[in-house]
Amino acid sequence: MIRKLAIGFALLISGAGPSLAQDASEGAAIFDAQCAACHVVRDAAGQTLAGRTGRLGPNLFGIAGQPAGQDAEYRYGAGLKAAAEDGLLWDEANFIAYLEDPNDFLRSYTGDRGARSKMAWQVRLKSEAADLYAFLASLD
């Protein structure tokens, strides 16, 4: 909280253009509209930070910058498991590419043209995917 306030304050002073703080709040709205049906963000203490009851997909807590496939309570598809074993990290570039086309991303990442994602959703705008990344990173 204090860190977020400090960042917001610094941006206010510098008058920086599109700020991380703005992106993250855009991302919160996009998360509710596009992700919350299938995902929650719940921390280790069990507190729900975003979403409500979405269970079709894994918990996205701590996803920004972390290895793929870390929700121990979720049964991932074979394609995502293979990518995780190959060392897939959800850095911003991978996260955005995955959201734009999950099947295509897994196919090129694993080199397996038959790989499929269990996630039946695509984000149409790169800027939305970037805002989502900023939002999820802000919840770490």
Which spans of this chain sit near ligand HEC (rule: CB under 6 A)? 34-35, 37-39, 56-58, 60, 63, 68-71, 76-77, 79-80, 90, 95, 99, 117-121, 123, 132
Q: Give the closest residue to 33 by CA, choosing from 54, 19, 16, 13.
A: 54
SS3 73: coil
Residue pair 51/35 in contact by the 8 Å Cβ criterion? yes
Of 76 and 109, CB closest to ligand HEC: 76
Give the CA-trace dihedral at 8, 65, 62, 18, to 10 degrees: 20
Q: How far is the CB of 75 from ligand HEC (least distance, A)?
A: 8
Q: Which is nearer to ligand HEC, 11 or 38 (CB)?
A: 38
Contact predicate 40/60, CB 8 Å: yes
Query: Given the complex with ligand HEC, which of 16 and 55 has the nearer CB atom?
Result: 55
State which H helix or E strand residue 41 sits in: strand 41-42
Amino acid identity at 86: D
Nearer to ligand HEC, 12 or 85 (CB): 85
Quote the least distance from Cβ 3 to ligand HEC, whole Å: 23
User: Please, what is the minimum distance in Å from the beta carbon of residue 122 to ligand HEC?
Assistant: 8
